[in-house]
A = this chain, B = another copy of it.
Amino acid sequence: MKKPTKERILEAATKLFLRDGYHATGIEAIISEAAISRMTLYNHFKSKDELIIEVLNKRHRDWMYRFTSFVESHAKSPKKQLLAIFDALQDWFEDEDYYGCAFVNAAAEFSLRDPENQALRIAGEHKHDLEAYILKIAKAAEVEDSQKLTQQICLLIEGAITSALIYENSNSAIDAKETVQQLMNSKMGVA
């Protein structure tokens, strides 16, 4: 086995949490998927909750890296990067094991009444970081209202993520991209 045990556990857990849900995935399933034994898992993580937290933290790093790498390698000018965002999403949605956003799913599954919940905190931070990244590009693109455009792009990103999952709309990323294009072309005109 090449990969460190801890990494194997994290990858197995990530796959199952995404595919089957956080609550529905038991310890048994994780150790089976990672091909390790029970105590090995508890040697690396002190509880399932902590495993969930580490999975989400790692997912945040991995996802942001993949996302930003795609955007910056597929487009050079900030304006084109704003559109390339949706090519990155399209690339993601085409994964055979696309099961939605780990953070949106976590927000759906963990009770929002618990403000102490770490998973929810990480989910919020993830979306915040994503928004900050887009705002940075939007400002570099020198669009009319970078703040507003960023909000609109974020809305469309979230919409595309959900639509790709539930509507089984394989074009949601493309639809969102065209919409952003249309918004950037329009000279504004709120009623």
Contacts and interface: CB of A to CB of B under 8 A. Distances in A.
Contact of A175 (B155, B172, B186, B187): B155
Contacts of A24: 23, 109-111
Contacts of A108: 21, 100, 104-105, 108-109, 165
Contacts of A21: 23, 108-111
A154 B156 CA distance: 10
Interface string A56-72: 00000000000000000
Interface in A148-191: 148, 151-152, 154-163, 165-169, 172, 175-176, 178-179, 181-183, 185-191
Contacts of A156: 155-156, 159
Interface stretch (A34-42, A44-52, A123-131, A135-143): A123-131
Contacts of A105: 108-109
A21 B165 CA distance: 18
A107 interface: yes
A23 B109 contact: yes
The size class of the interface chain A forms with chain B is 35 or more
A110 to B, nearest CB: 7
A176 to B, nearest CB: 6
Contacts of A160: 155, 159
Given A21-B23, A21-B111, A167 B154 contact: yes
Nearest to A120: B166
Contacts of A190: 178, 181-182, 185
Q: Which 6 A-B pairs have the closest CB atoms?
A: A186-B186, A159-B159, A155-B159, A23-B23, A108-B108, A105-B108
